[in-house]
């Protein structure tokens, strides 16, 4: 059934979901996709972007065999359904073996290898990890050095499986490929029957300092969301999915992992580093032509980077591409489609909703700037909440409110109970923390955020990862980190601070302190603003919207610096807007050629996502 509009989704929902999905866990889902495709390539992999013509090939028979072997190996090491294995790997085939083999045996917890050692240890301890899949001492990476630095700080850790490493069994370190090869590839020796509500994975989201937030995924969550992806994408075993996002993130695991595996499609792992590999970006269109790729998913920064390379290669095999994780500037959207002819579908999702919750319909009307229609069997709505976060009423069409999601894709909560307070608005309705509106036809539009996350190039940064270390600075009284609009990354972190009475500090000195004390490199602020007084709410909480408006003002005034000489005066004011969430006003006076000034302003601001209007005089 094609999905063209909300009515098609509602018609589909007349059939109970249980009649549409005949598997209940991720293990069964992969077996289903492999059936009849045993000798077909499930995974293509090349180490670097330049090596794309010489891939490693993993058939479905080999994929299922390694899943069995990994699960059987874990069981032999005393690993049970409630035990957790952390994974610290780049995008190599063994990452997929570890993810799905562990889910068949217990719980997988993928971790970002780019995090600093302390943050990795925090996540592993929060998960109580018993096993770690990781990279060995491979030149060009520091993953093993990080593991060595923290392994003794994780008291629950009993075994480490090295990919591309020699191992040292006397020290509890095993070469993964050698060890796993000893086990039966034909079946789960445990005979485990996995219930739909059993936990399959912990995905870390938000902060990595203090007590990390680990979102629990059940097996049926991942099954339902993967099934929905294949439905809205109309995916089949003829498709080739291109995976360039990291396998510690739900997008790569679900949208370019479980979903294609469930229908017997092929997946191309775009190098160990994914889109961070300059060779992948440089050769992207040639790679598409070589593999006849039909689909890829990326964040706005990737599309921006691809705009700056020659479109060499026949990309007519691509049906469409997905953009999510952060808003895409309209001009980037239009320029990419004009350059490549590739149809972009903007979507939305979050880890707590498994991965994806809405997308523009590939067979219906795409509304540029919107996040499209909700997925089948996954209700979404916008609501008005009171000052305590309690439900007041549903929003009218085009009225801004808080986006709520519900359905079999929504998680049962975080591992740490302290993070579960206030996240449910009504029975089963999860507060996403995002502000948005729904139009008359069911299309959703993101207009802002209640939650404080900073989204840098699609990477979520919890402001506490910046603020907590800065509070230890002897001169700082208050610290508040927010996202500052950026033409390339969407947002970059900046921090506003006030100083203690009589204390002295400089922005440069605070920045240096931040570089030395913030564990997450992406979270190190780009700028520090020392202010006299922090804006607060009537109850004394820091009022971050005012800081975000100020950071937007600064970004837009910096971008408009080249326009200043064309006018008598120019300044920017930023504040709330009832429909779009935030609006910038560009106040201009003394302009000679108004048309030329408007064109110059447009050119300066076209790569930003926050709307603006020009006010003359």
Express as a percent the part of the chain with pLDDT over 90.
69
Residue 522 maps to a domain: yes
Task: Tell me what pLDDT residue 478 has.
Answer: 84
Which one is predicted more confidently, 207 or 270?
A: 270
C-alpha to C-alpha distance for 287 and 276, rounded to whole angstroms: 15
Containing structural domain, residue 390: 6-434
Which one is predicted more confidently, 310 or 171?
A: 171
Q: Are residues 313 and 346 in the same domain?
A: yes
Least confident range of 218-222, 373-377, 408-412, 577-581: 577-581
Q: Are residues 313 and 228 in the same domain?
A: yes
250-275 pLDDT tens trace: 999 999 999 999 999 999 999 999 99
- Whether the pLDDT of residue 561 is over 80: the answer is yes
Task: Tell me what pLDDT residue 207 has.
Answer: 53
Task: Tell me what pLDDT residue 350 has.
Answer: 92
Q: Are residues 162 and 90 in the same domain?
A: yes
CA distances from 143 to 160, 162, 164 (A): 13, 11, 12
Nearest to 520 by CA among 82, 57, 117: 117
Q: Are residues 529 and 558 in the same domain?
A: no
Residue 443 maps to a domain: no
Q: Which helix (H) or strand (E) holds 19?
A: helix 17-20
Mean pLDDT computed over 554-583:
87
Q: Are residues 525 and 570 in the same domain?
A: no
Task: Tell me what pLDDT residue 564 has.
Answer: 86
Residue 448 maps to a domain: no
CATH code at 597? Answer: 3.30.300.20
Q: In this structure, what token pair is assigned to residue 385?
A: 């909440």
Which one is predicted more confidently, 386 or 508?
A: 508
Distance of CA 330 to the CA centre of its chain: 20
Residue 440 maps to a domain: no
Q: What is the 3-state secondary structure (H, E, C) of 267-320?
A: EEECCCCHHHCHHHHHCHHHHHHHHCCCEEEECHHHHHHHCCCCCCCCCCCCCE
Mean pLDDT computed over 137-151:
94
Where among 504, 534, 564 does a domain terminate?
534
- Whether the pLDDT of residue 325 is over 80: the answer is no
- Whether the pLDDT of residue 355 is over 80: the answer is yes
CB 574 within 8 A of CB 584: yes
CATH code at 114? Answer: 3.40.50.12780
Where among 534, 555, 580 does a domain terminate?
534
Average pLDDT for the chain: 91
Q: Are residues 463 and 328 in the same domain?
A: no
Task: Tell me what pLDDT residue 121 has.
Answer: 95
CATH code at 484? Answer: 3.30.300.30
- Whether the pLDDT of residue 208 is over 70: the answer is no
Under the banding of pLDDT at 50, 70 and 90, the label for residue 464 is confident
Q: In this structure, what token pair is assigned to residue 478?
A: 């208050």
Mean pLDDT computed over 23-45:
98
Mean pLDDT computed over 217-238:
96
Q: How many domains does the chain have?
A: 3
Residue 162 maps to a domain: yes
Q: Are residues 35 and 153 in the same domain?
A: yes
Under the banding of pLDDT at 50, 70 and 90, the label for residue 326 is low
Task: Tell me what pLDDT residue 541 has.
Answer: 66
Under the banding of pLDDT at 50, 70 and 90, the label for residue 210 is low
Residue 441 maps to a domain: no
Q: Are residues 70 and 106 in the same domain?
A: yes
Mean pLDDT computed over 593-598:
88
Mean pLDDT computed over 155-171:
95
Task: Tell me what pLDDT residue 371 has.
Answer: 93
Where among 480, 512, 534 does a domain terminate?
534
Q: Are residues 506 and 479 in the same domain?
A: yes
Residue 122 maps to a domain: yes
Mean pLDDT computed over 506-523:
89
Q: Are residues 460 and 430 in the same domain?
A: no
C-alpha to C-alpha distance for 128 and 86, rounded to whole angstroms: 9
- Whether the pLDDT of residue 453 is over 80: the answer is no
Task: Tell me what pLDDT residue 489 has.
Answer: 83
The helices-and-strands tally (H runs, E runs) of the chain is: 19, 30
Residue 444 maps to a domain: no
CB 199 within 8 A of CB 216: yes
Mean pLDDT computed over 590-605:
87
CB burial of 106-137 (b: ≥16 within 10 Å; e: otherwise) equals: bbbbbbbbbbbbebbbbbbbbbbbbbbbbbbe
CB 345 within 8 A of CB 443: no
- Which among 517-521, 530-534, 589-593 has the top mean pLDDT? 530-534
C-alpha to C-alpha distance for 446 and 473, rounded to whole angstroms: 36
Q: Are residues 174 and 55 in the same domain?
A: yes
Q: Are residues 424 and 555 in the same domain?
A: no
């Amino acid at each position: 059934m094609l999905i063209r509009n909300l009515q098609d989704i509602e018609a589909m929902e007349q059939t109970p979901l249980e009649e549409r999905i005949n598997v209940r866990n991720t293990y069964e889902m992969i077996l289903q996709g492999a059936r009849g495709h045993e000798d077909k390539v499930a995974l293509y992999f090349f180490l670097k972007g330049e090596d794309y013509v010489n891939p490693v090939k993993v058939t479905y028979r080999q994929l299922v065999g390694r899943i069995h072997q990994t699960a059987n190996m874990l069981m032999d090491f005393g690993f049970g359904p409630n035990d957790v294995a952390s994974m610290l790997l780049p995008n190599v085939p063994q990452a997929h073996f570890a993810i799905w083999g562990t889910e068949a045996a217990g719980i997988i917890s993928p971790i970002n290898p780019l995090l600093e050692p302390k943050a990795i240890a925090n996540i592993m301890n929060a998960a109580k990890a018993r096993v770690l899949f990781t990279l060995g001492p491979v030149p060009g990476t520091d993953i093993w050095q990080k593991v060595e630095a923290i392994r003794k700080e994780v008291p629950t850790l009993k075994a480490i499986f090295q990919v591309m490493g020699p191992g040292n069994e006397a020290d509890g370190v095993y070469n993964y490929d050698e060890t796993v090869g000893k086990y039966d590839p034909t079946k789960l020796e445990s005979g485990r029957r996995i219930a739909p509500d059993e936990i399959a994975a912990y995905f870390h989201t938000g902060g990595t300092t203090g007590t990390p937030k680990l979102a629990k995924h059940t097996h049926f969550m991942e099954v339902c969301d993967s099934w929905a992806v294949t439905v809205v994408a109309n995916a089949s075993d003829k498709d080739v999915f291109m995976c360039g996002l990291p396998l510690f993130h739900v997008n790569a695991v679900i949208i370019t992992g479980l979903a294609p595996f469930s229908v017997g499609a092929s997946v191309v792992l775009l190098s160990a580093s994914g889109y961070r590999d300059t060779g992948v970006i440089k050769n992207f269109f040639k790679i598409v032509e070589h593999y006849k790729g039909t689909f890829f998913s990326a964040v706005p920064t990737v599309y921006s980077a691809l705009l700056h390379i020659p479109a060499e290669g026949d990309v007519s095999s691509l049906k469409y591409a997905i953009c999510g994780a952060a808003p895409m500037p309209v001009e980037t959207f239009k320029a990419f489609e004009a350059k490549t002819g590739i149809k972009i579908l903007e979507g939305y999702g979050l880890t707590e909703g498994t991965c994806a919750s809405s997308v523009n319909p590939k067979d219906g009307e795409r509304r540029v700037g919107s996040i499209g229609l909700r997925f089948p069997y996954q209700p979404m709505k916008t609501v008005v909440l009171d000052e305590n976060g309690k439900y007041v009423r549903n929003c009218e069409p085009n009225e801004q409110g808080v986006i709520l999601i519900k359905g079999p894709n929504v998680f049962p909560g975080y591992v740490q109970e302290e993070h579960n307070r206030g996240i449910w608005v009504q029975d089963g309705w999860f507060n996403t923390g995002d502000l948005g509106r729904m139009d008359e036809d069911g299309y959703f539009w993101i207009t802002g955020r209640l939650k404080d996350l900073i989204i840098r190039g699609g990477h979520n940064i919890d402001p506490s990862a910046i603020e907590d270390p800065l509070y230890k600075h002897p001169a700082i009284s208050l610290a508040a980190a927010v996202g500052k609009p950026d033409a390339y990354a969407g947002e970059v972190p900046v921090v506003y601070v006030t100083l203690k009475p009589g204390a002295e500090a400089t922005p440069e000195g605070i920045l240096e302190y931040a570089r030395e004390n913030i564990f997450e490199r992406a979270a190190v602020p780009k700028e520090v603003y020392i202010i006299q007084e922090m804006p607060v709410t009537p109850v004394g909480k820091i009022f971050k919207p005012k800081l975000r408006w100020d950071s937007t003002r600064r970004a837009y005034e910096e971008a408009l610096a080249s326009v200043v000489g064309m006018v008598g005066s120019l300044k920017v004011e930023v504040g709330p807007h009832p429909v779009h969430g935030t609006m910038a006003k560009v106040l201009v006076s003394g302009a000679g050629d108004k048309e030329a000034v408007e064109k110059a302003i447009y050119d300066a601001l076209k790569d930003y996502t926050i709307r603006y209007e020009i006010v003359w005089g």
